[in-house]
Chain A
Amino acid sequence: MELGYLFGTVLKMMALLAWIYGLLWGLAREKLWEKALTIVLAFAVIQGAMLFNVGDFSLFSAFDQGLLYQAITMTMVALGLNLIYGFNGQFSLAQWGFYGIGAYTAADITYRWTSGDASGLVVVGLGVILGAAALFGVSRLLRLKRGVPVLSAFTFYLIALVVVGVVSVFLGGEISAALSPLFGTAGAPGPLASPAALQVVFFFSVVFAGAFAAEVSFLFGLPVLSLGSDYFGIATLGFAIVVKTLLVNSDTILPFKEMKGGRGMIGIPKLTSWSWAFVFLVLVIILVRNFVRSSTGRATLAVREDEIAARAMGIDVAGNKLQAFVVGSFVAGIGGAIYAHFMGFLSPASFDFIAGFNPLIIVVFGGLGSMTGTIAAAFGWIFFLEGFLRVLLGQMGTDAPTWRFVLYPIALLLLMLVRPQGLLGTVEWGFFKAKATSKRHKAAGEGSAPESAKAGD
């Protein structure tokens, strides 16, 4: 059984890598219908594999599906971190904290909704929308005066967000109280209690969770990004620790009884299906890729390479770092939301800062500044460490699972000694490649080769 399992897992990992390659290759096509066809096909292949059951044998067992969802959330978190760290050069350990924030936010929204309470959705939605408006407004006002110190700007943003928070809690309470009759009773469920409404709420909960994480990251990143690299790393580590502390005490320090603090939040509706996970994965891939390939993304790369030179080119360095940080955190929040609704259970222990090194290690393994490497490493990481090694070592005895945490630092050390640029270096597949293949660039020669060669650092 073990040999068969081993062989099967390796095959599955290779098949998934091929699947990723195909997806990225298809997304890189020029015509829109080709891209659409690729997405549909990529969706259908896995969906078909999940439905393929012959007697006892299932191609994609429930365990494998769990691994797949974990790999997808890890991909999102790691892609966001790669944006912050790989492309912008800001050594952040806060990503896991934003992941936790996203997970708990989304879980709280749908949990309250399924228990007939719209307040989660309404309050978070209002808060996120008004908060974005407030942040935008304050930033516009601050732009009138040049050279406002970070601390003052932070104070303004903080006051604005506190006001927005109070307003949205108050307004949201009123609105959700008005909405509550629409839920109906257990006997006669109202229009809001229908499964279709729940799916819509799920979509919004994921988006709002990401946006909430993004706004928190804005407020946190604004002062902290000005600290300089190592201090920024320590401050973000502190953020991850603080988030975990707050989650452990979410029912005592924070007023969220349903999160149940350190005992873990149970009863989250399991809404993550393959369709939703796939949709959000593709959206995140497109978002991150387009961010990196936009002019903002080029500025991001410039900031990583040399801040002084970037400033001389007219790039707003602080603003650019903040942009990358916020987008990365947004993606992490979405990943957290997907994770929460696939697990159905959230424990603060899984948002420990020690686990927060995992996405960092994935990004480094895959190669800093290589999106393909990040995705491949995230899938490989989950399927190898969580699936393969856990099962294999689990069969060897009760103490053996500890060994995987002994083995992977050794692997990490060897990798750092032998190949510090990561397994894939700066290799990019299909969709992530800079557009060197378009006809205009082809005539001019290998247009973007120097860029990709330089990105190794």
Chain B
Amino acid sequence: MPTSTDPNKTKALGSRAREARRGPPLAWVGWTFLIVLGAGTLVYIASKAWSDPTLFLQNLLDGLKLGFVYALIALGYTMVYGIVKLINFAHGDVFMVGAFTSFYAVSRFSLHKWPQAVFPSMAPGLSIVIGSLTVILLSMAVCVILAVTIERVAYKPLRDAPRIAALITAIGVSFFLEFFGALPFVFSGRFIPYQSPFPTTAWYIQDGIHPIVSGQASPDNTISFSNIFLIIAAASILVQLLLQFIVKRTKIGIAMRAASYDKSTARLMGINVDRVISFTFAVGAAFAGLGGVLYAIAYSSIWTQLGILPGLKAFVAAVLGGIGSIPGAFVGALIMGQAEAMTMSYISTPMRDAVAFTILILVLLVKPTGLFGEPSGEKA
């Protein structure tokens, strides 16, 4: 937004200073427009919430579930963008690969049953937990290897090329993963039903929490949630805390911040910037892999283009929160999830993407650095 309130001190101060204090002319029109829009939305949602509070709360929970998954993906975007200033389009596809890895591990190789097979005397609950964790860790490892390979092969040679070359490369990598995955001997291009490594249970809230018997619908006018929701929420929050710790307290985190601030100076200070960048990709990919597994479990169907839209939404969330900021990505993702869930329920399902991008544009117009972003002039 061009701020024309540049205080031009050499000119006559009187009227100009007054003008500067009043801000740009006609600014109230834009603000009125925004306020009317925002108030209208709020009133609309509030009236809906008033007429059916349980539906509203259910939407809130669904939005949280989406938001927590987006938060997991958004971290990778925001970290990578913070350091190499690249929209890593392939990140969404790394997420997809994570989902597929766990699918093969569970459905084809029954990896989640290994504790049961090796230690038959183990308590069934513990063996399920260990088995599922193994599957998740395997997916994360595969994603890390994939992302680091992509970074080394495709992005590293272009580090000094114009930024657009790297962006086009990212798009190319993304397409390659999607369509290579769609080949019949890889993943195939069909929708594949996903088998969860652990049993899912759901509960409904009505004068206390009751489990839903499988095969039965929950009673009307109740809020239901599942253990997957709890796991996603817990994982997402844990990852945020872990990442905060890594970035703020560890040596590699300090190196990451230094590299994102100024690469060449960081190099002069003895930081191996290439390794830091690889590490950033690896961390982002690990969380994307985790997100992929949880997303696949929650929505129980996977295909090779699964990663595109969640990836984009997660990037939008990262931008919304202020790109480069980790808490920003988290908050942005939660906002995104809510916006999407509310739109799906109250306006119409197809319009959810439209609402997501409209929110992005409005927020950027009002605060060009995003909600938590640090102001940084774009270099020409």
Contacts and interface: CB of A to CB of B under 8 A. Distances in A.
B162 A155 contact: no
B30 A152 contact: yes
B39 interface: no
B164 A413 contact: no
A187 B169 CA distance: 60
Contacts of B171: 357, 360-361, 412
B158 A235 contact: no
Interface stretch (A52-60, A336-344, A399-407): A399-407
B319 A231 contact: yes
Interface in B32-88: 32-34, 81, 85, 87
Interface stretch (B119-127, B128-136, B252-260, B357-365): B357-365
B368 A227 contact: yes
A354 B311 CA distance: 14
B169 A152 contact: no
Nearest to A89: B164
A253 B29 contact: no
Contacts of B356: 238
Given A354-B308, A405-B179, A223 B361 contact: yes
B144 interface: no
A253 B348 contact: yes
A145 B25 contact: yes
B361 A235 contact: yes
B183 A223 contact: no
Interface in A286-321: 306-308, 318
Contacts of B32: 155
Interface in B133-149: none
Contacts of B25: 145-148
B364 A307 contact: no
A18 interface: no
Contacts of B312: 234, 237-238, 241
B24 interface: yes
A364 B164 contact: yes
Contacts of A403: 183
A403 to B, nearest CB: 7
A402 B189 contact: yes
Interface in B316-371: 316, 319, 348, 350-351, 353-354, 356-357, 360-361, 364-366, 368
Interface stretch (A104-112, A242-250, A373-381, A384-392): A242-250
B238 interface: no
Contacts of A230: 81, 85, 87
A416 B158 contact: yes
Nearest to A233: B87
A248 B319 contact: no
Contacts of A47: none
A399 B183 contact: yes
Contacts of B348: 249, 252-253
Given A146-B4, A234-B319, A413 B87 contact: no
A151 B364 CA distance: 11
B290 to A, nearest CB: 24
B283 to A, nearest CB: 21
Contacts of A150: 1-2, 30, 365
Nearest to A457: B162
A357 B171 CA distance: 8
Given A230-B87, A235-B357, A148 B316 contact: no
B176 A245 contact: no
Interface in A141-200: 145-156, 158
B17 to A, nearest CB: 15
Interface in A320-336: none
A410 B53 CA distance: 52
A253 B173 contact: no
B378 interface: yes
A249 B354 CA distance: 12
Interface in B162-192: 162, 164-165, 167-169, 171-173, 175-176, 178-180, 182-184, 189
Contacts of A405: 175, 178-179, 182
Interface string A342-368: 000000000000100100110010001
Query: B4, B158, B164, B315: which has the most chain A beta carbons within 10 Å?
Result: B164
- Among A146, A224, A242, A306, residue most surrounded by chain B Cβ atoms (within 10 Å): A242
Nearest to B175: A409
Contacts of A246: 354
Contacts of A238: 312, 316, 353-354, 356-357, 360-361
Contacts of B87: 230, 233-234
Contacts of A4: none
B368 A155 contact: no
A306 B361 CA distance: 24
A318 B81 CA distance: 26
A151 B365 contact: yes
B157 interface: yes
Contacts of A91: 164, 167
B238 to A, nearest CB: 28
Nearest to A253: B348
A273 interface: no
B175 A234 contact: no
Interface of B: 1-2, 4-5, 24-34, 81, 85, 87, 154, 157-158, 161-162, 164-165, 167-169, 171-173, 175-176, 178-180, 182-184, 189, 308, 312, 315-316, 319, 348, 350-351, 353-354, 356-357, 360-361, 364-366, 368, 378, 380
| 7 closest cross-chain pairs (CB), A and B | A238-B357, A151-B30, A147-B4, A405-B179, A152-B30, A409-B176, A152-B29
